[in-house]
A and B are shown apart, each in its own frame.
Chain A
Amino acid sequence: MGGAFDTAVESAWCPGCGNFSILNAVKKALERTGKGKHEIVLVSGIGQAAKLPHYVDANVFNGLHGRALPAALAIKMANPSLEVVVTSGDGDLYGEGGNHFVHNIRRNPDIALFVHDNQVYGLTKGQPSPTSDPGWTGSLQRSGVISGPFPPLTVAIALGCGFVARALASDVEHTAEMMYQAIAHKGFALVDILQPCVSFNKKNTYEWYRKMAYRVPQDHDPSDRQRAFALSLEWEERIPVGVLYRKERPAFEEVHPGVGDPPLHARQTPEDAIRALIRKRVLDLP
């Protein structure tokens, strides 16, 4: 191939895994940004999906399970000129990291979030994830999942996420397009990527996703929050793929006092300024 972001690192994924398509889409989307590898930071948590950053020649922060977003937020705050992309799994981002998912949508940092949503925990060998369909039997739920599924797009729209999209891992071009738009969006952008797990999810297969998925209608106005909300609720009969909701609002870095140029690593601590800070505290009487 010889793409700009290719690496020689050996992959740890199963043959036929949806992650390969997602990796190709990530590289395509990054190439379209025209940015250099040193300007991009890929952040992930733990899981098979979370290994993706290692297979891209860019800056990598592969942190703890569930904690990709807090690290990503701070990297963006420390240096807003970096393109920060979080790419990790559904268990990682919706389960273990659910609280950070909620609160970073509220903050609205200019971060693109790609969730490899295969509705199963792969690396730990087949337990249900927050998005598993009710009734699905996992290795720890032999009689089937009884909890309702976590609806990521619905939650994101409810929280006012400015870019909410869904993609099918098998459709690399469209996934790359969604990813590129998410990166280009100024503010927090979610792309939930339906991804088959060939080893542990025998229900939500390539075939099943292809059968269920349909493109968001051309006449859908992505700024129509009510309609986007309704679309996001579709799952049982058919699953809309594409941009469901889009609305710009000021990004966190733009409104946070203090975040901006120069990046934090370049900020000085002049001794005179510290002395002035100390002097200011002196209780003196005229």
Chain B
Amino acid sequence: MGIDINIRITGGAGQGVHTAGGLISRMAVAAGYHFHSTQDYMSRIRGGRNSYSVRMMDVPARAGRADADILLALDPGHLPRFLPGLHPKGLALSDTSIVGEMERVTAAPLKELAVSAGSPILGNMVGAGIVAHALGVPSSTMDQLLALEFRGDFLEKNRKAVRLGSEWASGRLTEAFRLPPAPFRPRILLAGNEALALGAVAGGCKFAAGYPMTPGSSILLGLSTDGPPLGLVFEQAEDEIAALNMAIGASYAGARAMVATSGGGFALMAEALSLAGMLETPVVIALGMRPGPATGMPTRTGQEDLDFAISAGHGDFPRMVLAPGSVKEAYALAFHAMEATEAHQVPCILLTDQYLADTTVDVGPEDLPVLPVRRRIVRGAEVPRNADGKYLRYALTENGISPMAVPGEPGITIVVDSDEHDEEGHLTEDHGIRVRMEGKRARKEEGLAADTLPPLLSGPPDGEAVLVGFGSTKGVIAEAREILAREGVSVAAVHLRQVWPFPTGAMEEILSRYGTALTVENNRRGQLARLIRRETGRQVAGTVSRCDGLPFTPEAVAKEAKERLWAAHSTRR
């Protein structure tokens, strides 16, 4: 077994949990290791109970772990909640001077040392210094890492806090968690939403709009940070309705455009989604899922909007729904979304969730392939004209896709209408034209189906059982599969990175090769299981479900999958 150390920092909002977690993640990279970090935070600006878990491994880490090897509780009041999640051989650190000694907890003078370093708010950095010592990361490395983030007097205070923590730990703590020396590799620390925004920018996104809503906001942040140097313009909309109508307007004018939101905001966008379907305007909608209904649990995770994403919007129109399963895939699929929405002239939804949004890992530049952007707008002599010299935005074509020109092109006009329209784009109530336009839009589904990204299968090519998931569960299911394999239970895993158009043929073929299929979903009702039944006619044996607002962990998926498989097999006997 290689290196696998899970470090959990807990505290209230404003105590620097995020800062310490980020620093410890960079420590992993500096020490030559990989990491996977996740966050669990409450919907408030100050206080509450937040946690940040950093799992360090000597192989690329794909998921978080339920138990912690090192627990750093910046607020000792949180210990009763987090101690049960401490590994039996784990180390818990907290400033218990306020609450008195506690079993299994090493009392660390976080506050006292923070004050010595220059500010009582530096307890997080004292704690990070203790962790650095436990991992064997030298002070010189910590000094370098801190310089990446802080400047001037504040940098020196942070350095001092880390050093004081490290010195305090020296001699007091065992070196049970010392990381063996490993070669340093320059890596990129990237969160799911950052990767998604970066992929969209790499895919030529030039217009973005949105109204802040967790967990979509950090996509907007990424777009408005990485986009402008590449010519992207960003505007904060007055509401989500405006955001998507703006993106559609920009797309009409020839810009690759996107919006980002969460379920509630997406609900407000439903009418405009239908507009994109009618106008055949390319647009990308990033939908970061969180538990609902209504406001639900704003800062937590869930996969409850699968049904909604594939069916939102009135009327019949083709669309694409992609579901990235990792940080790397968030980048790749955002790029793909930008290309595909324009190629097929249908709206494309990128379905992510709070878990993936806030998951940070280390990747190499080679994990973020840079591909050419292929614009499909027709210009100048390429613009087709009819006998009257007119350009027809909705020219009836064999594959349903009409060449798209943009306003400003001399000699022609571009007419689009949310009403049913003729080939020129003008409103019509002619039933014959209506049928032809419906046919044209429907024909695009054939091209979409042909371009559907196939599900990714890992594990034995056939056998007793297969676990099926979509989106952010990819890494968790992959690890769960390996845990099961170690326990002698051979299962395969299928990851759906595109859920619409549903890869029906591929799924029918895969499911036919295994005795039992289970879905793994962050929702209660098994929306993926129902989708599979609807599209393939196959009933899965059950669903490993979690709907408490927290992400799956590999151990829990493995355990429940085993129980359910056992139950399914017993029933069959």
Interface size in chain B (residues, C-beta < 8 A): 75
Q: Cβ of B112: which chain A residues have Cβ within 8 Å of it?
A: none
Using known A-B contacts A60-B413, A74-B247, A283-B148, determine if residue A81 contacts B201 with beta carbons closer than 8 Å: no
Q: Mark A223-244, 1 if CB is under 8 A from B, else 0.
A: 0000000000000000000000
B346 / chain A contacts, CB cutoff of 8 Å: none
Pairwise interchain contact B250-A271, C-beta atoms closer than 8 A:
no
Q: Assess the B207–A264 pair: CB atoms within 8 A.
A: yes
Q: Which residues of A contact B252 (CB under 8 A)?
A: 61, 71, 75
Of the listed stretches B155-163, B367-375, B394-402, chain A binds B367-375
Partner of B272, one of A51, A67, A269: A67
Query: A286: which B residues are within 8 A, CB to CB?
Result: 144
B250-A75 in contact (CB<8A): yes
Does the CB pair B370–A271 fall under 8 Å? yes
* Contact, CB under 8 Å: A9 / B426: yes
A265 near B365 with CB under 8 A, answer: no
Q: How far is the CA of A70 from the CA of B259 in the complex (A)?
A: 13
* Tally of contact residues, A, Cβ under 8 A: 60
Could you tell me if A274 and B186 are in contact, using CB atoms closer than 8 angstroms? no
Question: Does B40 sit at the interface, judged by CB under 8 A?
Answer: no
A175 within 8 A of B: no
Rounded to whole angstroms, the CA-CA distance of A144 and B186 in the bound complex is 73
Give the distance in Å from the alpha carbon of A70 to the alpha carbon of B206 in the complex: 17
In the complex, A62 has a CB within 8 A of chain B = yes
| Contact call A41/B407, Cβ cutoff below 8 A | yes
A70 contacts B237, C-beta separation under 8 Å: yes
Q: Is the CB of B246 within 8 A of A73?
A: yes
Chain A residues within an 8 Å CB radius of B426: 9, 54, 60
Complex Cα spacing A148 to B232, Å = 43
B509 to chain A, nearest CB (A): 36
B343 close to A (CB within 8 Å)? no
Is B419 at the interface (CB under 8 A from chain A)?
yes
B92 within 8 A of A: no
> Given the complex, which residues of A lie within 8 Å of B406, measured CB to CB?
79, 265
Mark contacts of B1-24 with chain A using CB atoms, 8 A cut-off: 1 yes-contact digit, 0 otherwise: 000000000000000000000000
Chain B, 100-131, contact with A by CB distance < 8 Å: what is the 0/1 string?
00000000000000000000000000000000
CA distance A63 to B237 in the complex (A): 17
Q: How far is the CA of A32 from the CA of B477 in the complex (A)?
A: 66
**B238 A57 Cβ-Cβ under 8 A:** no
A77 contact from B201, B250, B271, Cβ within 8 A = B250
B475 interface residue per 8 A CB criterion: no
User: Shortest CB–CB separation between residue B560 and chain A, in angstroms?
Assistant: 37
8 contacts between A and B (CB under 8 A): A46-B418, A59-B413, A73-B249, A74-B247, A258-B233, A264-B254, A281-B188, A286-B144
Kindly list the 10 A-B residue pairs having the minimum CB-CB distance in the complex, ordered from nearest.
A265-B254, A71-B249, A74-B249, A264-B255, A78-B253, A267-B231, A70-B245, A103-B238, A74-B246, A70-B242
B interface residue numbers (CB < 8 A to A): 26, 29-30, 141, 144-145, 148, 184, 186-190, 198, 201-204, 206-207, 209, 226, 228-235, 237-239, 241-243, 245-250, 252-255, 257, 271-272, 275, 279, 365, 368, 370-373, 377, 406-419, 425-427
A interface residues with partner B (beta carbon < 8 Å): 9, 12, 36-39, 41, 43, 46, 51, 54, 57-64, 67, 69-75, 77-79, 81-82, 99-100, 102-103, 256-259, 263-269, 271, 273-275, 277-279, 281-286
